[in-house]
Amino acid sequence: MHSKQIFAMVAAGILSASAAHAQQSAANQVPEIPGLPQAARTAAASIDPEKIRAHVRFLSLDLLEGRGPGQRGAELAAEYIATQFALDGVEPAGDNGTYFQRVPLVAVHTIEDKTRFSFVPADGRQVDLAYGTEIVSKDQTGQAAADLDAPVVFVGYGIHAPEYNWDDYAGPNHTEIDLKGKIALVIVNEPPSEDEKFFKGKALTYYGRWTYKYEEAARRGAVGVLIVHRTDLASYGWEVVRNSQAIEKSYLQGDPNATLRAAAWIQHDVAQRLFTLAGLGNLDQAIDQAGKPGAFHAVELPVRLRAHIESRVRRYVSANVVGRVPGASAAEQTGNQAVLYSAHYDHLGIDPDAKPDANGCGKLDGIYNGAADNGTGCGILLELARAFAQSSQRPPHAVYFASVTAEEQGLLGSQYLGMHPPIPAARIALDLNYDMLLPIGIPRSVSLGGAERMDFWPTVQTVAHAFDLALLPDPTPGAGHYYRSDHFSLARVGIPAFSVDQGELFEGHTPEWGRAQAEDYVDHHYHQPSDEYRSDWDFRGNAKLARFGLVLGWLASSQPTSVEWLSGDEFEAARKASQTK
Ligand SMILES: [Zn+2]
């Protein structure tokens, strides 16, 4: 107790010193940028790293029980965020004049020992599959039990991409193969390419993500999808697939994109067995063939999938917290240049298997505090909201703030927000998302994957340069990071969107130091109960990236026309569709 008090006093001394320093230099930390009014600089300079710290500390307290969606801790977090909005003068922009947008969810857990899958060839004996080691599956419809007996159709990579003149659903006679009531067998990832103009070369497009495969087959009326897992193509082993399926998975209730009775993965060897039953020969050769332009046709196999699936189903509601600051121009009610900031507040809740700790104090510490992930993004979002709301002037158009739920369940809160935006998607010029920014110092580089895909990119480059932030290329384009964060939910309804993330270069340190910090976090704290608030964290970097985002948003709001995707981008069609609604 005593030593703790001393530590607290020392820490407080350090904090107030660093706070004073931060305020002094804040004014100098917002550079002059052409087209940016002085009021915007003042608003950005008001962003206070110690306020971000206070939000992060509160949101990651054990009292909030890991902010699992549908649980008490997440409700407390949502209430806290809404209360901060209210205190700062941010208007409600959720349902019925509140700050809350209700997101109806359904959690599905496959009951392994009551679930059966078999292949039934037209001639020959039924082959039973071992659940877990050979196949894993989820019933996306949220029914407690389902029975399937349907033919399997091999559709290669399961991709229909008109812009690459690619259609895996074309049958041998060039008509689209009928998938209604059937099971699609698909390969993970996308056709291999070195050509930038063909599936973006080495970079992964959304067509390569397993979520796309489920959605596309479901759109075509399939009742099930079997994704063939091969470690080199997936870039992760079967254990990863198996573990991620062993826990419950949530869906939006009534999601038109999630209608599969069996959203399943099968082991490579099992897929080979299926190929042999169907008389199709070598699977790996077929995979090679399916990746070559013009060399593949969808084919129905003389094999049926028979399944009995039982699920434990839990329906629940969580909320996005949505606020708004009106714009200054007369056109703000009708204009199409609103700016949206987003950051998820949910995390993983409490580990149900956590045991009292060994030193006998009896305290459960299976609490996933989620201080960095994503207390930091929430702290930044709240400071942005305060700075805009209290600014002496406002940007021309409205600014929206959405702290979304169920990101860890698969970007579900943001998906719901995209489907039900506070104003039509076509009227939102830009979404800037913040997720997990380790508060370890002042960054000198940023990673803004996706920003280069929009006509706003030259402005982004100018602002980054002015903030002394080097722009980093995506280090692992094949991993498809763009499709794994909340901004993607907004991009898919057409809104130009990207996340503001820091790189590895920090003031006073080598890049190796920054990399070591990031690796240590990923190895020891990421998605673990030890992602806890630390009093020695330095929030000046979070503040810097909040200021950077404020300036970007202000400029997007003030441009003569809205931000748009570059022509030919994969989200351009969604944008155009939203603008004709
Ligand atoms: Zn996370």
Q: For the segment 425-484, what is each residue's pLDDT rounded down to a tens digit? A: 999 999 999 999 999 999 999 999 999 999 999 999 999 999 999 998 877 777 788 998
Residue-averaged pLDDT of the chain: 90
Q: Which pTM was predicted?
A: 0.87
The confidence score (pLDDT) of residue 22 equals 47
| Residue 14 in this model has a pLDDT that exceeds 60 | no
Strands 145-154 vs 135-138: parallel, antiparallel or unpaired: unpaired
- Ligand 1: distance of its center to the CA of 435 in Å? 8
The confidence score (pLDDT) of residue 357 equals 57
Lowest mean pLDDT among 44-58, 326-340, 409-423, 482-496: 326-340
- Report the 10 Å Cβ neighbour count for 279: 11
- Ligand 1: distance of its center to the CA of 182 in Å? 34
Average pLDDT over residues 4-30: 46
| Residue 8 in this model has a pLDDT that exceeds 60 | no
Are 47 and 543 in contact by the 8 Å Cβ rule? The answer is: yes
Residue with tokens 């099971």: 183
The values of phi and psi at residue 323, to 5°, are: -130, 170
Contacts of 195 (CB under 8 A, 6+ apart): 201
The values of phi and psi at residue 576, to 5°, are: -60, -40
- Ligand 1: distance of its center to the CA of 197 in Å? 32
- Ligand 1: distance of its center to the CA of 210 in Å? 19
Are 315 and 376 in contact by the 8 Å Cβ rule? The answer is: no
- Ligand 1: distance of its center to the CA of 479 in Å? 16
Choose among 355, 336, 374, 311: nearest CA to 501: 374
In SS3 terms, 199-242 reads as CCCCCCCHHHCHHHHHHHHHHCCCCEEEEEECHHHHCCCHHHHH
Are 206 and 487 in contact by the 8 Å Cβ rule? The answer is: no
pLDDT digits (tens, 9 = 90+) for 511-520: 999 999 999 9
Tokens of 403: 């702290």
Identify any residues that bridge with 371 across adjacent strands, giving them in sequence order: none
d(CA 216, CA 487): 21
Choose among 412, 88, 116, 132: nearest CA to 249: 412
Are 41 and 30 in contact by the 8 Å Cβ rule? The answer is: yes
Choose among 263, 283, 265: nearest CA to 273: 283
Lowest mean pLDDT among 13-17, 34-38, 58-62, 410-414: 13-17
Q: Is the dihedral of CA 326, 328, 334, 337 positive or negative?
A: negative
Tokens of 435: 């997720």
pLDDT digits (tens, 9 = 90+) for 189-238: 999 888 888 888 888 888 988 899 999 999 999 999 999 999 888 878 89
One-letter amino acid of 328: A
Tokens of 360: 């006998």
The confidence score (pLDDT) of residue 553 equals 98
| Residue 543 in this model has a pLDDT that exceeds 50 | yes
| Residue 13 in this model has a pLDDT that exceeds 70 | no
The confidence score (pLDDT) of residue 126 equals 93
| Residue 15 in this model has a pLDDT that exceeds 90 | no
d(CA 331, CA 207): 38
- Ligand 1: distance of its center to the CA of 458 in Å? 31
d(CA 481, CA 104): 26
Strand, coil or helix: 97: helix
pLDDT digits (tens, 9 = 90+) for 246-273: 778 899 998 988 999 999 999 999 999 9
Strand, coil or helix: 70: coil
Average pLDDT over residues 75-98: 98
- Ligand 1: distance of its center to the CA of 77 in Å? 16
d(CA 264, CA 565): 34
Are 566 and 455 in contact by the 8 Å Cβ rule? The answer is: yes
Length, in residues, of the chain:
581
| Residue 1 in this model has a pLDDT that exceeds 50 | no
Lowest mean pLDDT among 8-22, 408-422, 454-468: 8-22
Contacts of 540 (CB under 8 A, 6+ apart): 18, 22, 49, 441, 442
- Ligand 1: distance of its center to the CA of 332 in Å? 35
d(CA 306, CA 230): 23
CA distances from 286 to 55, 235, 400 (A): 53, 19, 49
| Ion ligand 1: protein residues whose beta carbon lies under 5 Å | 373
d(CA 105, CA 432): 25
Tokens of 217: 């087959």
Average pLDDT over residues 46-57: 98
How large a percentage of the chain has pLDDT more than 70?
93
| Residue 6 in this model has a pLDDT that exceeds 70 | no
- Ligand 1: distance of its center to the CA of 374 in Å? 7
- Ligand 1: distance of its center to the CA of 483 in Å? 14
d(CA 556, CA 498): 13
The confidence score (pLDDT) of residue 25 equals 52
Strand, coil or helix: 6: helix
By CB atoms closer than 10 A (0-12, 13-18, 19+), residue 327 is: buried
pLDDT-derived band at 171, boundaries 50, 70, 90: confident
- Ligand 1: distance of its center to the CA of 526 in Å? 7
The confidence score (pLDDT) of residue 355 equals 64
Average pLDDT over residues 403-423: 96
- Ligand 1: distance of its center to the CA of 421 in Å? 23
Strand, coil or helix: 487: helix
Average pLDDT over residues 547-556: 98
Choose among 526, 539, 120: nearest CA to 348: 526
d(CA 399, CA 395): 8
Strands 299-325 vs 91-92: parallel, antiparallel or unpaired: antiparallel
- Ligand 1: distance of its center to the CA of 527 in Å? 6
Identify any residues that bridge with 263 across adjacent strands, giving them in sequence order: 138, 225
pLDDT digits (tens, 9 = 90+) for 125-142: 999 999 999 999 999 999
| Residue 10 in this model has a pLDDT that exceeds 60 | no
- Ligand 1: distance of its center to the CA of 373 in Å? 5
d(CA 210, CA 488): 15
Strand, coil or helix: 109: strand
pLDDT digits (tens, 9 = 90+) for 332-369: 777 899 999 999 999 999 887 766 655 545 445 789 99
